[in-house]
Structure 1
Amino acid sequence: MIIRGRAPLRVSFGGGGTDVEPYCVEHGGAIIGSTINKYAYCSILPKENDQITVHSLDFDMTVKYNAKENYVYDGKLDLVKAALNALDINQGCEVYLQCDAPPGSGLGTSSTVMVSLLMAMAKWKGVTMDAYEMADLAYHVEREVLGISGGYQDQYAATFGGFNFIEFHGKNDVVVNPLRIKKDIIHELQYNLLLCYTGNIHVSANIISDQVNNYKKKETDAVAAMTEVKALAYAMKDELLKGNLNSFGKLLDYGWNSKKRMSNKITNPKIDELYEEAVKAGALGGKLLGAGGGGYLLMYCPYNVKHKVAERMEKAGGQLADWNFELRGAQAWTMDSNRWDYQDIKVQIPEGRFDFKL
């Protein structure tokens, strides 16, 4: 038997940073975003021994453990070890991990990998959890057990999937509001958006730490910026539901300018140049995805200038990505491993079935 877990990566439109403690505990936070058709995958092949072998296909890394040992979090595939502990996996297996985007891309990769791991392991163990329980567990393992800096949004976005307005009312008090957006609006929004890789990998922990410190020190501009970012998330939700997409695009610009005031580490000259080139070519607004410092830029461009924006961003060193929205959340399924034995594949073609005559 092969058990697979898959979770979608996400793009956030507004509210980023307000889902991070202590701001969300003291004031409440709000995020608007959607998942996209780029994924984190986990495959598990159970074994009849105590050996656990983990293969990271993206990093060409293999690490081996014993199912009976006490895991040490030493920076080598700690997400896997923490997930094994969380679901009390005490049987040997092979685990394969693969993600469609690198760490530091701003698409929530580490949290999405965690969700795919837990989905596959829960399926294997026969553990039933609803979406809230799964997202809560993923947050607990990543943020509290491993101490990885970040907010709440990524685990919930990956688990629930689709367009959501997520509110954070306090510690472990999260409400996911699925947005019922007309299909025509979703199609038009996707057509008018560009996803551009900046070429920089960010270190989100450093940026989040700086943002949190600015808030704790009550730096007036940083605190005001967080309040603005939260308010703009509500405004984006309203404009998106109404289908006022050009207004939505302009709100992205307002949100980006507010977010940059939360920490001086959020942007850099390369990112600013890409953004400015896009606006000069006709983009109404956009934002850097994730904590900042690198990763992907999301730009809203009216359809008649989108090609010009794309050309200017590529000339400035940006790398455009092919993508679309994904409305489904995390999933897990099983397959008979014998059907995927590639060592001795034999296919018999019925005689005459493909005898075409021109």
Structure 2
Amino acid sequence: MDSLQIGALGAARITPQALIRPARSVPEAAVVAVAARDRARADAFATRHGVPVVHADYAALVDDPALDAVYVPLPNSLHAEWTVRAIEAGKHVLCEKPFTANAEEAQRVADAAAASDRVVMEAFHYRYHPVVDRALDLLAAGTIGTVRRVEARMCFPLPRRGDIRFRADLAGGATMDAGCYALHCLRTLGPGEPTVVAARARLRASDVDRAMTALLRYPNGATGRMTCSLWSSDVLGVSCVVHGDAGRLRITNYVAPQYWHRLSVRTATRRWHERVAGEASYTHQLRAFTTAALHGGPVLTPASDAVRTMRLIDDVYRHAGLHPR
């Protein structure tokens, strides 16, 4: 197989950035089909982005025997259903985050993935950028000593009140859309798997959070703090700070480091800043996905990992006095 034939399950706003443009830089990836709830929207998307095939609906795309893989950028509430259907149709799957609406759904998808020989990847694109590996190398080398506290933020303004990310029936909320990044980063750079000890929500509606703060604890006693918002006084903040007993490591803009980022390290004897070279995080992600599907390469964000993140998200909601999505 020369290239992975990919279909986009939905003409979402993220699709050009996450799939169409990266495919131009990844020779082994070919975006060849799209489907949307509105056929006219799918036609317009295909014309604009040069996608040769438009399917009548999601089911037709998933069942297309010419496709090897499916990209799922649907609303959160639909991720589990269509990821499982794609796996059952023999497709590899790149599913947007958050992986599902809740941990129970995530486990169901993970079980389906484990029972197949398909690659199922959660689209935490930041994890595939070299700046994260550089940070992990520095932490593993003991550059800042034993980790005692980790703080991750993902805050940006989303003023559109009617946006689907504020809809409870579509599994929306700040913790789902922004907090998932911060929680995953706390898992990635922290000393083990954390647990939630407290959370406080600010609400857009009675059951939808527009902002959330959560406190976590790691097995070694280290603490974590997650801050996220889609609409709050924390207008913009995307960073992760790891405090050790011998120094501090900070990544500014860990989510989209291709636009601008800074890796800063401070110890008792030295301070320095780095820019870590790399392509767009989405390009690194798509290359990893195609390499895994075609050649058995590693997957850093598999379905089993997504279950752990979704459990944290569910627990954040519970500690904040809200129901999981």
> TM-score under structure 1 normalisation?
0.23
> TM-score under structure 2 normalisation?
0.24
**Larger-gyration structure (1/2):** 1
Larger RCO (CA within 8 A; separation ≥ 6): 1
